[in-house]
Amino acid sequence: MSEQLYNNEVAFELQTKVIDETRQGETLTAERPKSVKANGKKFYIESYGCQMNFADSEVVASILAGAGFDSTTEFMDADLILLNTCAIRENAEQRIRFRLQHFRGVKKRKKGALVGVLGCMAERLKEKFLEEEKIVDIVAGPDAYRSLPDLIEEAGSGQKAVNVLLSREETYAEINPVRLNSNGITAFISIMRGCDNMCAFCVVPFTRGRERSRDWQSIIAEAKELYEQGYREVTLLGQNVDSYRYSTDPTLVGKKLLEAKYDDSVVNFAQLLEKVALVAPDLRVRFSTSHPKDMTDDVLHMMAKYHNICKYVHLPVQSGNSHILEMMNRTYDRAWYIQRIEAIKRIVPEAAISTDIISGFCSETEEEHQDTVSMMEYVKYTLAYMFVYSERPGTLAAKKYKDDVPEEVKKRRLQEIVDIHRIHSLESNKQDVGKVFEVLIEGISARNDMELYGRNTQNKVIVFPKGDLKTGTYANVLVTSCTSGTLIGRVES
């Protein structure tokens, strides 16, 4: 099986979960503020990678709308084309380079048209990107989006414009994101930026900077505004949401903040979850991503306490072998991860658990791979994002270890992991047949316009006949059958 086919295979669930909600290459549903004079120019933006990138694109859209730009869903009509990029794997970067070639015609056809690269790939390559990709006029890192109007003006004068400065304070807290081609029902809320975990395989600490939490008042205000606009589900986003800490006291940092007494002036993630849950009882709350070293029982007890905090935990394991986890600098071992899984099953027994898995990390032996397989057999994840190891320049792994697992071995192990996950996914779905779930209706099924789809609290997609039901409402759905990826049912009166 080709590498491209492998990537399509293992990324399918991510694409259906994220890209269908914020469709790649399509932009605004909201208009430019009426108080802002139009500048006569249109922008087009595409987003790649994680949910954080999609949320960032909504911030970018707000900044550009405030600068007088209108949006377009056709890049051939755009005066400004932006790609919000991912650098987590080499294949992701190659996709961006390939996509840029599609935009050459725009620059030839429309005088003065500009192309910009945003996000993690921009941060990783910086000015070098301008040399490598002659078509690019603007390069802006994740903390530089406020400067986009100035960068656009600079590029418009014929200069190459670059801002990749990382910040210790930037959270874009007061910027009201423009929901990109939203379904009007589900939305992302960014609660923190950056990452302090130096996982050996990961570029995020270098492309997104140090970890900093957004003030909880602005998060609650955004959740309330979304609810008033008709949204019924929010996902709280961060590279490691469990390490969320916010204090109004600037002297409380590091260990002092961790040891501080929590109240309205010092808020941790469990408390933030509760505050968002209390916005409205019919506003669902999800969160991503959790780190096994930081997920506390307090968070789990909060999930159990509130009906509208969804019973779903994304807990990346990466590997089931303690030695490989140590090499990855994950700061936990196999026993610790299992202890966290046991806590989830004890405190929130109905919770579904998903994960990330890397196949073929440096020096991984067959026995170490089998530890990952046995971890999968133990947990039986309902959803998994599975990838072969891809060495990224500048990371600890690239500097310290040899990428010595042959590609064919990586792919064979990945296929084994994918096959096991499919079995577990189907088994999990079969166990739901005959059960009734409360489903938030998100839209019309892509395969049948007489059917609706939505998700239950465990983040499983359920398809059922439309009837007189409307999107944005809840329905009790009896599951009558399933596939490995979807539950099928009918509405119970």
**Would you list the domain boundaries of the chain?**
22-163, 186-431, 436-491
Bridge-based pairing of strands 487-491 and 451-455 is unpaired
Fold of the 186-431 domain:
pyruvate-formate lyase- activating enzyme (3.80.30)
Question: Quick one: average pLDDT of 444-456?
Answer: 93
pLDDT at 223 over 80: yes
Superfamily in which the 22-163 domain is placed by CATH: Methylthiotransferase, N-terminal domain (3.40.50.12160)
Peptide bond into 16 cis (omega under 30): no
Residue 409 has pLDDT above 60, yes or no: yes
Give the residue with greater pLDDT, 35 vs 335: 335
Quick one: pLDDT band at residue 261, thresholds 50, 70, 90? Answer: low
- Name the residue among 94, 91, 85 with its Cα closest to residue 54: 85
Structure tokens at 420: 């096991």
Mean pLDDT in residue range 374-381: 98
Centre a 10 Å sphere on the Cβ of residue 390 and count the other Cβ atoms it contains.
17
d(CA 146, CA 133): 24
pLDDT higher than threshold 90 for residue 473: yes
Say yes or no to pLDDT of 1 above 70: no
Pairwise pLDDT comparison (195 vs 263), residue with the higher score? 195
pLDDT in the model for residue 32: 58
The CA–CA distances, whole Å, from 76 to 45, 79, 103, 104, 140 equal 12, 9, 8, 10, 22
Q: Is the pLDDT of residue 118 over 90?
A: yes
Structure token pair of residue 384:
């998994």
In the predicted model, is pLDDT for residue 33 greater than 80?
Answer: no
pLDDT of 93 strictly over 60: yes
Pairing of strands 80-85, 114-119: parallel
pLDDT tens for residues 276-305?
999 999 999 999 999 999 999 999 999 999
Q: Domain 436-491's class? A: mainly beta
Q: What is the pLDDT of residue 253?
A: 63
Give the mean model confidence (pLDDT) for residues 436-449. 94
pLDDT digits (tens, 9 = 90+) for 127-148: 988 888 889 999 999 999 999 9
Q: What pLDDT is stored for residue 263 in this prediction?
A: 67
Residue 24 pLDDT > 50: no
Predicted local confidence at residue 338, as pLDDT: 98
Note the pLDDT tens digit of each residue in 416-430: 999 999 999 999 999
- pLDDT (0 to 100) of residue 389: 96
Residues 194-222 have a mean pLDDT of: 94
